[in-house]
Amino acid sequence: MNAHVKADLAPLHSADATTAEEALERQEVVDSESATRVALQNTLLTPRFYTTNYDEMDAIDVSSVRTTWDALINEMKADPNKGHFKKNADWDHIDWDGMEPKLKAEFIDFLISSCTAEFSGCVLYKEMKRRGKNEDITTLFQLMARDEARHAGFINDALREAGIAVNLGFLTQAKKYTYFRPKFIYYATYLSEKIGYARYITIYRHLEKNPELRFHPIFKWFREWCNDEFRHGEAFALLMKTDPKLTSGVNKLWIKFFLTAVYSTMSVRDHQRPAFHAALGVDPKQYGYDVFQKTSEISRQVFPLTLDIDSPRWQPNLDRIEAANHQIAQGRKQGGIGGWFKRQAGSAKAAVAFISLLTIPSIPNQVPDNPRLQPAY
């Protein structure tokens, strides 16, 4: 972009943009190599970028859920959060240099990983909008891409104050894309939207009661933020409703697999940030349990089963996966043949514990005819 155009665009913030493209153009490119390098990482635990069979997704017919669909789209078009995701008088000054170094490192890692996850949604939704011809689908995906671009842009605003930012344009080009067939996109994205809602609202409510623990102003934005994620999740619930096969038969096993994978990944990731959770006054285990409970309750709108997180085998196996992950990290640090063996042993332990989680009998659920829910937490 040339300087002239940039000057013309400068007064408009990504929060006020009405499309994802516009929001991304308003992102000042402050390349921060280290942050972008972290965002580029692809491991089992880092947010990924996805690609899918766009033609198959474009062929979805939403007429069986038409009334509910139109109401949701109208709600999104009304754009209740336009202009919300930018700094205002509520944005307190942060003394980044004075922040305890371990907390600072973990918090920055949290922001980079959140920004990557938001942007991952943006890239996928924007691409579906670009490739699609089905107006119902392209309208939805364009609205969701708009929201995710604003979210990613806002996190980058916060990072920039610490002197870093994720280069979103570069990330689009350079990050590896993972192919997921459409039904896996539905399960994974539905869950990530709903668990995102549950995570943000749990932190928001906790800090509402304990405002002295709010060590950064971005948490004040979490309520409206998670309402966007809630709506995105509603859209995927409706998409799954259009085809009963997606939530029956062998696909029940896939749903169980995705629930288990998403919950255990979150648990391991959160345990990697002890200083961050200590500063918020949050016990990651209790936090995980609360978030899983909310997500399970919400997911009963469309999934024919929930995981039994009260099973005596649930928490011990989550703990085993976390310990195995710690061992893998140590092996990586150690390097050499000894480190390699440590990593292999850790991976095997994690796999056994994960399979053990999968074999816990799930709780069957009678799905309601109308899936629509309102955020209630």
Q: Write out the residues near Fe ion by the rule CB under 5 A.
A: 118, 148, 151, 193, 229, 232
- Cβ 180 to Fe ion, closest distance in Å? 16
| CA gap 327, 333 in Å, rounded | 10
Of the two residues 172 and 311, which places its CB atom closer to Fe ion in the complex?
172
Of the two residues 148 and 322, which places its CB atom closer to Fe ion in the complex?
148
Q: Which of 225, 128, 229 is nearest to 182 (CA)?
A: 128
Of the two residues 154 and 276, which places its CB atom closer to Fe ion in the complex?
154
- C-beta atoms surrounding 217 within 10 Å: 15
- Cβ 199 to Fe ion, closest distance in Å? 11
Residue pair 165/14 in contact (Cβ under 8 Å)? The answer is: no
Of the two residues 175 and 232, which places its CB atom closer to Fe ion in the complex?
232
Of the two residues 180 and 354, which places its CB atom closer to Fe ion in the complex?
180
Of the two residues 108 and 149, which places its CB atom closer to Fe ion in the complex?
149
- Cβ 147 to Fe ion, closest distance in Å? 6
Of the two residues 127 and 229, which places its CB atom closer to Fe ion in the complex?
229
- Cβ 197 to Fe ion, closest distance in Å? 9
| CA gap 312, 306 in Å, rounded | 16
- Cβ 228 to Fe ion, closest distance in Å? 6
User: Beta strand 305-306 with 363-364: parallel, antiparallel or unpaired?
Assistant: antiparallel
Residue pair 31/48 in contact (Cβ under 8 Å)? The answer is: no
Judge residue 192's burial from the number of C-beta atoms within 10 Å of its C-beta, 0-12 exposed, 13-18 middle, 19 or more buried.
buried
- Cβ 177 to Fe ion, closest distance in Å? 18
| CA gap 64, 83 in Å, rounded | 34
- Cβ 339 to Fe ion, closest distance in Å? 37
Residue written as token pair 């939805």:
140
| CA gap 50, 277 in Å, rounded | 29
| CA gap 203, 160 in Å, rounded | 23
